[in-house]
Amino acid sequence: MAFTTFNDMLRRTAWRLPDHTFLTWIDRDRSITYAQGVELSERVAGALADLGVVKGDRVGIFAHNGLDYVLAMLGAWRLGAISTHISVLQAHNLAFYVNDSTPKVLIYTGDKHDVVAANRPNMPSVQHAICFDGAKKDALAWDALL
């Protein structure tokens, strides 16, 4: 029995249909092709690896749904890391969910920066924070990493 991951399926589809649309983010009128999806998820994996993320580590994603959210998930999976998803509706319980899942890296959207900053001292597993919406105090910029 062959073992197939989502990343394997993405690469295989990119090989067959590189210029076909993979994802469309309607809210921001942005689309990427399968080939771009492979390239971007590889960039995310490389950026996470540069931060020390290895197979079995956890990467927390505390963000609104969107294209970058999916790429963060695929990049973590590419390394064999585990993506842990924390709903933005649970902002008041952020430290609980982070401490329950113990991510090495926490990726979040800029509108949640104050929540992340306030809880950072209570989330000892988080070695690096990455903000989708640019560099913030104690957080790296998503675009700059990629």
Instruction: Tell me the whole-structure pTM to 2 decimals.
Output: 0.93
User: What pLDDT, on the 0 to 100 scale, is given for residue 3?
Assistant: 64
Q: Is residue 74 part of a domain?
A: yes
Tell me the pLDDT tens digit for each residue of 58-111.
999 999 999 999 999 999 999 999 999 999 999 999 999 999 999 999 999 999
Contact between 98 and 125 (Cβ < 8 Å)? yes
Domain that holds residue 65: 21-145
Q: What is the domain count for the chain?
A: 1
Q: Is residue 14 part of a domain?
A: no
Tell me the pLDDT tens digit for each residue of 102-145.
999 999 999 999 999 999 999 999 999 999 999 999 999 999 99
Structure tokens that stand for 37 in this block: 């999806």
CATH number of domain containing 82:
3.40.50.980
Tell me the pLDDT tens digit for each residue of 25-58.
888 889 999 999 999 999 999 999 999 999 999 9
Q: Is residue 15 part of a domain?
A: no
